[in-house]
Amino acid sequence: MTANTLTVTDNRTGKQYEVPIENGVVRAMDLRKIKISDEDFGLMSYDPAFMNTASCKSNITFIDGDKGILRYRGYPIEQLAEKSTYLEVAYLLIHGELPTAGQLKEWSWNITHHTFIHEQIKKSMDGFHYDAHPMGMLIGTVGALSTFYKDAKDIFNPEARRHQIFRLIAKMPTLAAFAYRHSVGMPYDYPDNDLTYPGNFLNMMFKMTEVKYKPNRVLEHALDVLFILHADHEQNCGTNAMRSIGSSHVDPYSAVAGAAAALYGPLHGGANEAVLRMLKEIGSKDRVPEYIKKVKNGEGRLMGFGHRVYKNYDPRARIIKQVAEEVFEVTGKNPVLDIALELERIALEDDYFVSRKLYPNVDFYSGIIYQAMNFPVDMFPVLFAIPRTSGWLAQWEEMLLDKEQKIARPRQVYLGYGTRDYLPIEKRKELEGKAATAD
């Protein structure tokens, strides 16, 4: 018997198998040789929601959920949040290394000079209803971009890939801001190439009649930090969607639209929006215990709490709490902060949350900051999608170039009927909960 193997005894046959262990995992395909007969398909693993299945090998993001560690390409998130910028982090995620001064200049120039969107896309934005959710508008218009760039389908051409990467990172803030402007009936404001990535986004969101928009430096920096914190998070639901859709070799705009749709849900990037709605529903600090009681009784979840991977404080939430203080010095304190702090205090002392290792996640405080910065609640998931685009693209490119990857296509455990003969309509009977059956 060799080390780094797993010996499995199939008690159905008494046969023993040796399965190699590499990087702490066994290959599910190695289980297929475990059979009860030659005709047998072979053993599969069953893992709904990928609770214990690695779908890829990756060099991009590392998370240790028990210790509360997050690193991009080996760099601790705390150092990147303190010392880097979002555009530099986007470069790091995609290229694997921090850029030199020259590389950063060229990268920033390329992103800055792809921020405009085709006027026809602007017109398609106009087609949305006045009260359309900005995330729905973003998903629709980013998908529509694929129809404008014919070279987007050329995904195995590194030059063409680079072009779409510039375009997507550059245009997401423009689409996002246009979606917001449309929803409030304001004229669109075009990108300003003199501003930084977050500064230009603030400009496109909030510029009114002034000739030149000057972003508040503290708020611009806070947004940059929030963008860094949201840039990637290994194989979460949205990223898994990006890889899965991209594995069909579709263009990256269509894949980003799908990833953004996955992010939209309240259990994922929509949670920041849900947190604010929850805090509004609670209304005041003294009503927190009553709300916690409801959650413990199974009536809803404490939004912004819990995580599939973090079983300790989410390191991003810790950084966001510091950013919040800087922002509130400029904007004044968001009144819902007191309710959030009280919720956190009570939850972290309560056995229900402690025993399930439920801690605040990135979404618990981010929305409170966004609201203080004047972003409407509907925009919160959009603010998540903008920076996550660089992570999606890094993961997409890694997947495309990984020789082991193929079109994503899980197996299933079929538990339905065996063969049955077609039933003529006059012989079918209605049963409660079932469409039709024979006698």
Instruction: Tell me the residue nearest to ligand CMC as measured from the CB.
Output: 306
Judge whether 342 and 285 are in contact, CB under 8 Å.
yes
The residue (of 308 and 318) whose beta carbon lies closer to ligand CMC is: 308
Least Å distance between CB 342 and ligand CMC? Answer: 16
Closest CA to 199 of 137, 111, 126, 273: 111
Would you call 118 a catalytic residue per the annotation?
A: no
Checking DSSP bridges between strand 69-72 and strand 429-431, what pairing results, if any? unpaired
Q: What is the CA radius of gyration of the chain?
A: 25
Tell how many helices (H) and how many strands (E) occur in the chain: 17, 7
Least Å distance between CB 321 and ligand CMC? Answer: 15
The residue (of 122 and 308) whose beta carbon lies closer to ligand CMC is: 308
Please identify which of the residues 232, 233, 307, 378 carries the catalytic annotation. 307
The residue (of 287 and 429) whose beta carbon lies closer to ligand CMC is: 287
The residue (of 80 and 302) whose beta carbon lies closer to ligand CMC is: 302
The residue (of 125 and 340) whose beta carbon lies closer to ligand CMC is: 340
- Please give the helix or strand (H or E) that residue 126 lies within, else none: helix 119-126
Least Å distance between CB 29 and ligand CMC? Answer: 26
Please identify which of the residues 95, 118, 163, 268 carries the catalytic annotation. 268
Type of residue numbered 347: A
Least Å distance between CB 170 and ligand CMC? Answer: 24
Tell me how far apart the alpha carbons of residues 245 and 243 are, in angstroms, rounded to a whole number.
Answer: 6
The residue (of 356 and 427) whose beta carbon lies closer to ligand CMC is: 356
Type of residue numbered 422: Y
Judge whether 226 and 369 are in contact, CB under 8 Å.
yes
Tell me how far apart the alpha carbons of residues 31 and 35 are, in angstroms, rounded to a whole number.
Answer: 9
Would you call 230 a catalytic residue per the annotation?
A: no
Least Å distance between CB 56 and ligand CMC? Answer: 18
Least Å distance between CB 356 and ligand CMC? Answer: 4
Phi-psi region of 424 (alpha: psi -120 to 50; beta: other; left: phi over 0): beta
Report helix, strand and coil shares of the chain as percent, to nearest 5. 55, 10, 40
Please identify which of the residues 30, 189, 363, 378 carries the catalytic annotation. 363
Tell me how far apart the alpha carbons of residues 430 and 439 are, in angstroms, rounded to a whole number.
Answer: 10
The residue (of 202 and 303) whose beta carbon lies closer to ligand CMC is: 303
Strand, helix or coil for residue 62: strand
Contact footprint for ligand CMC (CB under 6 A): 236, 267-269, 271, 295, 301-308, 356, 358, 361-363
Would you call 307 a catalytic residue per the annotation?
A: yes
Least Å distance between CB 268 and ligand CMC? Answer: 4
Residues in the chain: 439
The residue (of 204 and 288) whose beta carbon lies closer to ligand CMC is: 288
Tell me how far apart the alpha carbons of residues 228 and 81 are, in angstroms, rounded to a whole number.
Answer: 6
**122 to each of 138, 190, 233, how far by Cα in Å?**
12, 11, 31
Least Å distance between CB 311 and ligand CMC? Answer: 9
Closest CA to 133 of 283, 266, 307: 266
Long-range contacts (CB closer than 8 Å, 24 or more residues apart) made by 195-200: 196/85, 196/87, 196/220, 196/224, 197/85, 197/86, 197/87, 197/108, 197/111, 197/112, 197/173, 197/224, 197/227, 198/86, 198/223, 198/224, 198/227, 200/112, 200/115, 200/173
Positions annotated as catalytic residues are 268, 307, 363
